[in-house]
Structure 1
Amino acid sequence: MSQPNIPNITPVIDVTLKQSITLLLSSIAMEELSLAHILNAEAEKIQFLLGTLHSHHHLTHKSICPSDLFELNESVRKTLHEVLKLEMMLYSKLDSVKDLYSHSHHGHHRGRDWRDGDEKENFK
């Protein structure tokens, strides 16, 4: 069996510390937005089943059986559990970014001010 032929790629990403902090915060914000959309979709599932979603008033309480509600509840519970785990990860990520900002803001990052756009860190 032959070994795969992997090209030698050594990209150089040249960003300032300030830019990297901004990118990290943006990624956290985008993930939070995604989770908000997931939570909204779960709320719409509940509203649809209960007939309170504005465009779906054709369902009545008589057409909903308890097993439907239990099934929906379990589905929403599982989704919320996964969202909660992701929120905890994002909180940890944000905490790390705050620490990075705090250290760099006080000039502890290799003696440079984080706001100095001329000094660049090469992240490889």
Structure 2
Amino acid sequence: MSMPVIPERDFEESVIDILESIALEEAALAHILNAEGEKIQKVTEKVSNPGDLIKLQKSVKEILQMIIKKEMLLQFKFEKVVDLLEMMEEDCPKPGPGHGHKHGHIRDNDN
């Protein structure tokens, strides 16, 4: 099996890729949560057996624990991106008033 080809990216493209990956994972987790909610509704409408409801509860608990862990990892990932952006901004300070737009920053005296 051959190695995957990883396209070259500059810093900005890499940051965008990371942020997009976080957003996609968040969307996937939202879909999982929604599916769990639908599952709970269907099962509770049809089942009155306490044993089956306990099984449902354990299943939902495991899914929620997985989602919470994933959310924590995504939060750490996002915080690292923010830290990296702040470090990069320190290395590339904003231009002063009257020096135009540089590095995506808007002059202070723009109205």
TM-score bucket (shorter structure): 0.7 to 0.9
1:78 corresponds to which letter in structure 2?
A: E
Runs (5+) with no aligned partner, structure 2: 93-102, 105-111
Q: Relative contact order: is structure 1 or structure 2 higher (C-alpha 8 Å, sep ≥ 6)?
A: 1
Number of residue pairs matched by the alignment? 94
Query: Residue 50 of structure 1 aligns to a residue in which SS?
Result: helix
Runs (5+) with no aligned partner, structure 1: 1-5, 52-58, 109-114, 117-124
Q: Distance in 2 between matches of 1:101 and 1:36?
A: 27
Structure 2 equivalent of residue 28 of structure 1:
22
Give 1:28 shift: 0.3
Q: 2:11 matched to 1:17? A: yes
- Name the one with the larger helix percent: 2
Measured on the aligned residues, the alpha-carbon RMSD in Å equals 2.4
Give 1:15 shift: 1.8
2:55 corresponds to which letter in structure 1?
A: E
Give 1:12 shift: 6.9
**How many percent identity over aligned positions?**
37
Q: Distance in 2 between matches of 1:14 and 1:79?
A: 36
1:16 corresponds to which letter in structure 2?
A: D
Structure 1 equivalent of residue 40 of structure 2:
46
Structure 1 equivalent of residue 82 of structure 2:
98
Query: What is the 5 A alignment of 1:74-113?
Result: 74-107=58-91
**TM-score of the aligned structures, taking structure 1 as reference length:** 0.66
**TM-score of the aligned structures, taking structure 2 as reference length:** 0.73
